Amino acid sequence: MTNAEPTAGEKLEKFAFQFCKISTVAFICGRYTLPVAATLASVLYLTAYFKGKQDTRCFLRYPLLISAFWGVIGAIAWVFTINPALPQSILRSVGIGK
């Protein structure tokens, strides 16, 4: 039983695996990737918090903070995905764009 330090290749593989998961979701969901992923992250972190998880490995650290952040991002992403003309109309209303 040794606690050997992971090799450089093992460290890179862990990082690559994260992008593999992201790519898989993007492949399956297409343009809905951000709203689906953000909504799921928000719901899952909120559920984890209510099941007793008080901290995470995420850089935001606290499940409620992470859930709130991804909840806002998810809501905005759903609005813009459902109504793709909205960003351009918002920019036009403030005098930017055509």
Question: What is the tally of structural domains in the chain?
Answer: 1
Helices (H), 1-98: 8-29, 33-50, 63-82, 86-93
In the block, tokens 């689906």 appear at 36
- Is 72 a domain residue? yes
pLDDT > 60? residue 42 = yes
Nearest residue to 34 (alpha-carbon basis) of 86, 90, 77, 88: 77
Say whether pTM exceeds 0.85: no
pLDDT at 14 over 90: no
- The pLDDT mean for the chain works out to 89
10 lies in some domain? no
- CA 88 – CA 50 distance, rounded (Å): 39
Give the structural domain span for 41: 30-93
**pLDDT at residue 51 is higher than 90:** yes
